[in-house]
Structures are given as C-alpha cells and as structure tokens.
Amino acid sequence: MESMTLKCPVTIKAKVTESLKKQLAAGIQEEVKKVDMELQQIEFHAKRLMTEQAKQDAQGLVALRQQIDAERNKRLEFKSHMVDKLKETAQLEIGAEIVQGTMDRIITVNVGDDLQKMINAEILLEDGKILAFRN
C-alpha cells in the first residue's frame, strides 16, 4: 500500500474585527436573554409545583425544592459563564486570531509525507471570508 485516505480535523480561526466582536457579543447577549427567560419560567412553574406538592404530600416539598434549586443554579452558573465570556469578547484585540471551531477534511497521505504538517491544517477567516490555508 503506497497511500492511505484519512479523515482529520482542520482548525477554523477568525481574525478579530469590529464586526466579529459585535457578532460574538450579540450571540452571547442572546444566550443571556434565553437564560433569563428560562429562569423566569422556572420560578413560575416552581410556585405552581410547590403548591401542588404541598396539597399532595408535604414531605416531597424538600426534594422538589432541591430539584428546582439545582435547575436554577445550573442556569445561573451558565449565565455567569456567558457574562464572563462577554467581558472577554470586549477585550479582544483587533487583528488577533481566535479559534472558532473545527471541521473535518479528507486527505490522502503517501509514504514519505510529513504527517504532522498535514494534520495541523488551519483555515483563517476574516468576516466570514477565507484569507488563508495554513499547514
């Protein structure tokens, strides 16, 4: 066998621009709004569930309260993480490069190829347009 076809990841990086910073911030703010709505829904449903539980079985109130608090804490933790991420986004320097994710690609390798060079591929974007392919 002289060659082999492989599937390997490609890192997608983006050059930071004002447009990208605004786009990232808007996405994060949208996530924070969703979490706030979820928290409101949890509170609304919690009151109803607690009332129903009290009528049926008062002993189950503690377990129900713990479950509700766990859900609320999960959302609050996520919201805190997103607020931190928003602060980090605001501090990104224009021109810096950030990782936005990965994609897979199919490559054919031959005997003698530098595998390390081939699998460390990157695509650099600026405002959604490809600027460069890097190996």
Give per-residue pLDDT as tens, 31-90: 999 999 999 999 998 888 888 877 787 777 888 888 999 999 999 999 999 999 999 999
Whole-model pTM: value is 0.74
- Residue 96, helix vs strand vs coil: coil
Residue type, 135: N
> Do residues 118 and 135 make contact, with C-beta atoms less than 8 angstroms apart?
yes
CA atoms of 90 and 79, how far apart (whole Å): 17
